Amino acid sequence: MVLHVIAEAERCFLCKKPMCVTGCPISTPIPDMIKLLREGKLNEAGDMLFRNNPLSAVCSLVCDHQKQCEGHCVQGKKGQPIHISSIENYISETRLDNIEIPIPPSNGNMVGIIGAGPAGITVALELAERGYKVTIFDSKDKIGGVLQYGIPDFRLPKTLLARYKRKLVEAGIQIRPNTTIGGALEIKDLFRDGYKAIFIGTGVWRPKKLGIKGESLGNCHFAIDYLANPDAYDLGDSVAIIGMGNTALDVARVLKRKGTRNVTLYARRMATNANEEEIQYAKLDGAVFEFGKHPVEITPDGPVFDDNVFDEEGNIAGTKGEPKLYKADSTIIAVSQGPKSKLVDTTQGLKAAPSGLLLTDKNGETTYPGIFAAGDVVLGAKTVVEAVRYAKHVADSIDDYIKGLNK
């Protein structure tokens, strides 16, 4: 690994106008990172990466690098791009445990964070570094949100998230696991107890339905539920997955590792926008891909599909032929997720769009003064790095808001 990282770092041109930085949603200073590594300044490189993106060690594993930094590398025009992700991961992962988070004396203000996912972790760290007393509330027993319960361990080792938890505790951040806000405790209780502002980063955990017959059958499940605890399921030797996005690919790869012999993914269109590397891994693992299928019904014997017909521009123009049963012991629906409504239902004045996503202004403030939000609960299911970028901006907004209250 070390030899690979050094060799890749030596290949970098250290471009004056680095396209790799342009391709990164959070503008990771990649040439500076590589320059420091070449000079033997790994600690400085790791500290710089953490300041720019507290979840750098995570993003270096789960980002779609082929479409982002590595996809924009000038080396890729005539050959292989620099393997930036390996360099970033080596630096970030090596340095993580020893990074010192500067915590100033308390400024006397408390902030509540609802949700311990990427956005919540980012806001918590950003505000702790400014002297705020921060408490994170999460409905699960472990931190990470989608990182913990939506991404398989072979893509993101959960030991890494345990290390992040230690960093949160070191920064003086308190964590209340297994605590659902909108249940026994409501947002009004937090304001009553002295929290000056609330941040919501609860993600999207409500599976989207297909709206077809059979979704309540015992052999039908939702992808986000399955990924949260695959060991709880007994799905048989043949599984059909409806959907072909990144979540569907994760499900397929977990199923193959659990010993399922026949795994088939079905997509409505003739292509998928999923991570190309993950597609190739899924094929290598033995998953089968079927395109142009329109789901009609789910039966005890498997899903029923029509064949889609496409116009010249590749848009679905209808179906052809008779519906056909594709036999499977179990069917998993993987067609995205939306937010749960518990916070909106229990907080008068907190409004959401018809999709369920929270309404915010450009600074991340919701329709309820003092409540801010970022991440998937605002943007829909996006990438981890996008959630971190937006969360850093919203942390600034929360800081400005509380300073305004204290004038």
Share of the chain above pLDDT 90, in %: 95
CA separation for the pair 99, 171 (Å, rounded): 11
Can you tell me the mean pLDDT for 378-390? 95
Do 268 and 350 fall within a single domain? no
N-to-C CA span, the chain: 53
pLDDT digits (tens, 9 = 90+) for 39-78: 999 999 999 999 999 999 999 999 999 999 999 999 999 9
Neighbours of 132 (CB within 10 A): 26
In this prediction, residue 52 carries a pLDDT of: 98
Can you tell me the mean pLDDT for 306-322? 90
Can you tell me the mean pLDDT for 368-379? 97
Give the end of a domain, one of 42, 63, 98: 98
In this prediction, residue 267 carries a pLDDT of: 97
The CATH number of whichever domain residue 312 belongs to comes to 3.50.50.60
Give the end of a domain, one of 335, 358, 389: 335
pLDDT digits (tens, 9 = 90+) for 257-283: 999 999 999 999 999 989 999 999 999
Do 177 and 155 fall within a single domain? yes
User: Total domain count for the chain?
Assistant: 3
In a domain, 103, yes or no: no
Do 268 and 365 fall within a single domain? no
CA separation for the pair 295, 252 (Å, rounded): 18
pLDDT digits (tens, 9 = 90+) for 69-82: 999 999 999 999 99
Mean pLDDT of the chain: 96
CA distances 92 to 48, 127, 165, 173, 310, Å, are 9, 21, 16, 21, 46
pLDDT digits (tens, 9 = 90+) for 97-133: 999 999 999 999 999 999 999 999 999 999 999 999 9
Do 318 and 350 fall within a single domain? no
| 3-class SS string, the chain | CHHHHHHHHHHCCCCCCCHHHHHCCCCCCHHHHHHHHHCCCHHHHHHHHHHHCCCHHHHHHHCCCCCCHHHHCHHHHCCCCCCHHHHHHHHHHHHHHHCCCCCCCCCCCEEEEECCCHHHHHHHHHHHCCCCEEEEECCCCCCCCHHHHCCCCCCCCHHHHHHHHHHHHHCCCEEECCCCECCCECHHHHHHCCEEEEEECCCCCEECCCCCECCCCCCEEEHHHHHHCHHHCCCCCEEEEECCCHHHHHHHHHHHHCCCCEEEEECCCCCCCCCHHHHHHHHHHCCEEECCEEEEEEECCEEEEEEEEECCCCCEEEEEEEEEECCCCEEEECCCEECCCHHHHHCCCCCECCCCCECECCCCEECCCCEEECCHHHHCCCCHHHHHHHHHHHHHHHHHHHHHHCC
Do 294 and 343 fall within a single domain? no
Q: Is the pLDDT of residue 3 over 80?
A: no
Do 215 and 330 fall within a single domain? yes
Instruction: Output 72 or 406, whichever has higher pLDDT.
Output: 72
Tokens of 199: 């941040």
In this prediction, residue 1 carries a pLDDT of: 65
Do 253 and 156 fall within a single domain? no
Can you tell me the mean pLDDT for 300-318? 93
Can you tell me the mean pLDDT for 307-316? 90
Can you tell me the mean pLDDT for 284-303? 97
